[in-house]
């Protein structure tokens, strides 16, 4: 297949998925114009999507959505930046209608990169005057100073999220401002490295695995000439739709939406207190349709390098696995106590060590037991301190447990990952070391006191101490997780080796 035909096929698949989402949103819309579940900005992005796909077919849906959007309470949760961005990008929507909907609302302006960029872009769309241009120039300078750490955007200061890096990149790539586009181009290669051949582009940080970031990553990679990486992401989106019957909020846990979705419901893993399915459906449809309308890129990029590191993110890839870690952050969902590991390459690749932590701003599935660091029983849990990259393939993680500092060394080899925990001055056998989480959908077998195998992926876990395996002990972003831990019995350290068979490790 020629490159141009391959690009056409990708765009057609994006369009088909966007149309399906538009139909799903129309079915989910109530006669009041609202959706089945509460939303923040779904109606605005749905109006945009319906208008661009077929304003006649979806005319009744649009007619119901606009007054419903206008009638919502103007409280502090009103997502003006998101809503105004979608409305200003909707063809045929009069300025009077937009002004009427926005009347009485204020921007939220949180200290978060994507919200700041949304505010910048919507001001740029609304006002082209000299004063606005000067303000936009100053605002973009502030954004770069506060959130841009080339080649990545920080989600919040000192905190990285692949999902929101993708969103920031998409926003700037879609901007007509050439300076915005140049920064977006610099940020895109990181997305290619994160997606690799497997297509899980947003496994690190806040919002791991969600469709929100996947569609943004797809859009940018397709636009800038990374068709293979874009195809890999699109496969994950299509596969999740096939599994769940709709585009799920979280691609790592593609489940049909239960009747009472919430962070407390075990059937909705990957959800946080502010997530809304209809928001994410409409948002995904928006970027998928944009991707389907992209012109062919001028250049096809070479595959992103397999191993790449900076002060914020480290990656290591081989033919057996792909590992990613964040090296800084403030909360459990920002940092990586263990690497996120995708076993294998291409469409058959599987998440083995899933993203962990989960946001905990409200009661949720993700408690301290989801923290993959040593603990004392189920009462005292390690506190992450910092991560240092010792070399291209060696990481040191420091943590504190019961006022004692311990260290975790992680070494990446061609077909092995070696994790060594050490915490001095504790009674032997008192501390559970490792406590790493493995995707609960993967079947594991303990064949010896110190050995666990995964036949379907050809992986063996061995330790120099007895291992304990507890299925569905806690939750990761991919759903229920199996926990592997070790009690040393005789000392204060232990080493776990994860190896892939038929290798030259």
Tokens standing for 217?
């990553």
Output the DSSP codes for 227-244.
HHHHHHHHHHHHHHHHHH
Q: How far apart are the first and last CA of the chain?
A: 36
148's enclosing H/E stretch is strand 148-149
Which tokens is 27 given?
Answer: 């079915």
CA angle centred on 34, ends 33 and 35, rounded to 5°: 125
Helix (H, G, I), strand (E, B) or coil at 168: helix
> What is residue 1's predicted lDDT score, i.e. its pLDDT?
47
Neighbours of 131 (CB within 10 A): 8
Closest Cα to residue 47, out of 91, 100, 107, 104? 91
The pLDDT score that the predictor gives to residue 5 is: 60
237 with 211: CB under 8 angstroms? yes
Nearest to 251 by CA among 265, 237, 268: 237
Determine how β-strand 394-401 pairs with β-strand 404-412.
antiparallel
Q: Prior bond to 445 cis, omega within 30? A: no
* Separation of alpha carbons 420 and 120, rounded Å: 46
Residue 458 and residue 449 in contact, taking contact as beta carbons nearer than 8 Å? no
Residue 166: CB partners within 8 Å, gap ≥ 6? 191, 201, 202, 213, 214, 216, 217, 220
| C-alpha–C-alpha distance, residues 343 and 198, integer Å | 9
CA distance 367 to 376: 15
* Inter-residue contact 401 to 431 (CB < 8 Å): yes
Q: Which two tokens stand for residue 468?
A: 């304990």
Helices (H), 127-244: 130-147, 162-173, 178-195, 211-224, 227-244
Question: How many helices (H) and strands (E) would you count in the chain?
Answer: 12, 20
The number of C-alpha atoms within 13 Å of 142 and in the hemisphere containing its C-beta is 14
CATH code given to domain 313-500: 2.70.98.50
Indicate the pTM of the whole model: 0.95
Residue 412 is inside which H or E element, if any? strand 404-412
Q: What are phi and psi of 91, to 5 degrees?
A: -65, 140
Is 3-258+266-292 a domain of CATH 1.50.10.10? yes
Cα-Cα-Cα-Cα dihedral sign, residues 102, 106, 111, 116: positive
Which residue ranges make up each domain of the chain?
3-258+266-292, 313-500
pLDDT digits (tens), the chain, 505 positions: 456 668 899 999 999 999 999 999 999 999 999 998 999 999 999 999 999 999 999 999 999 999 999 999 989 899 999 999 999 999 999 999 999 999 999 999 999 999 999 999 999 998 878 888 899 999 999 999 999 999 999 999 999 999 999 999 999 999 999 999 999 999 999 999 999 999 999 999 999 999 999 999 999 999 999 999 999 999 999 999 999 999 999 999 998 888 888 878 888 888 887 889 999 999 999 999 999 999 988 888 876 565 667 889 999 999 999 999 999 998 888 988 999 999 999 999 999 999 987 777 677 788 888 999 999 988 899 999 999 999 999 999 999 999 999 999 999 999 999 999 999 876 666 899 999 999 999 999 999 999 999 999 999 999 999 999 999 999 999 999 999 999 776 668 999 999 998 654 4
Tokens of 404: 């004692």
| Cis peptide leading into residue 366 (ω within 30°) | no
- CA 333/CA 206 separation, integer angstroms: 6
């Amino acid at each position: 297949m020629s490159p141009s035909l391959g690009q056409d096929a990708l765009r057609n698949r994006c369009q088909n998925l966007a149309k399906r989402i538009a139909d799903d949103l129309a079915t989910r819309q109530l006669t009041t114009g609202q959706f089945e579940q509460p939303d923040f900005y779904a109606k605005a992005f749905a109006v945009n999507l319906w208008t661009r796909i077929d304003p006649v077919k979806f005319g009744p849906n649009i007619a119901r959505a606009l007054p419903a959007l206008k009638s919502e309470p103007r409280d502090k949760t009103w997502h003006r930046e998101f809503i105004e961005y979608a409305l200003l990008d909707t063809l045929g929507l009069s300025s009077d209608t937009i002004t009427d909907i926005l009347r009485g609302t204020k921007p939220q302006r949180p200290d978060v990169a994507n919200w700041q960029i949304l505010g910048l872009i919507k001001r740029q769309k609304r006002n082209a005057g000299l004063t606005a241009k000067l303000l936009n120039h100053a605002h973009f300078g502030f954004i770069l100073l506060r959130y841009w750490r080339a080649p990545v955007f920080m989600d919040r200061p000192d905190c990285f999220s692949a999902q929101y890096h993708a969103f920031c990149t998409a926003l700037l790539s879609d901007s007509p401002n050439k300076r915005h586009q140049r920064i977006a181009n610099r940020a895109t290669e990181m997305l290619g490295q994160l997606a690799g051949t497997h297509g899980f582009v947003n496994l690190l940080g806040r919002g791991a695995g969600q469709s929100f970031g996947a569609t943004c990553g797809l859009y940018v990679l397709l636009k800038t000439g990374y068709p293979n990486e874009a195809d890999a992401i699109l496969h994950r989106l299509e596969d999740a739709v096939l599994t769940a019957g709709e585009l799920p909020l979280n691609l790592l846990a593609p489940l049909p939406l239960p009747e009472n979705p919430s962070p407390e419901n075990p059937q909705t893993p990957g959800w946080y207190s502010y997530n809304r399915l209809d928001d994410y459906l409409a948002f995904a449809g928006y970027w998928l349709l944009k991707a389907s309308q992209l012109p062919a890129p001028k250049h096809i990029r070479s595959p992103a390098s397999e191993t790449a590191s900076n002060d914020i993110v480290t990656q290591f890839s081989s033919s057996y696995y792909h590992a990613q870690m964040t090296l800084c952050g403030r909360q459990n969902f920002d940092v990586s106590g263990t690497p996120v590991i995708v076993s294998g390459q291409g469409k058959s690749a599987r998440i083995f060590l899933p993203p962990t932590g989960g946001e905990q701003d409200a009661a949720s599935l993700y408690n301290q037991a989801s923290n993959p660091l040593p603990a004392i029983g189920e009462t005292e849990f390690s506190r992450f301190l910092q991560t240092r990259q010792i070399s291209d393939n060696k990481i040191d993680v420091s943590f504190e447990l019961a006022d004692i500092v311990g260290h975790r060394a992680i070494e990446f080899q061609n077909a092995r990952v070696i994790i060594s925990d050490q915490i001095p001055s504790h009674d032997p056998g008192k501390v559970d070391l490792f406590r790493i989480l493995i995707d609960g959908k993967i079947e594991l077998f303990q064949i010896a006191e110190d050995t666990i195998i995964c036949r379907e992926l050809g992986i063996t876990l061995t330790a120099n101490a007895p291992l304990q395996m507890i299925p569905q002990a806690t939750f990761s972003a991919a759903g229920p997780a199996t926990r592997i831990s070790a009690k040393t019995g005789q000392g204060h350290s232990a080493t776990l080796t994860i190896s892939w068979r038929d290798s030259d490790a």
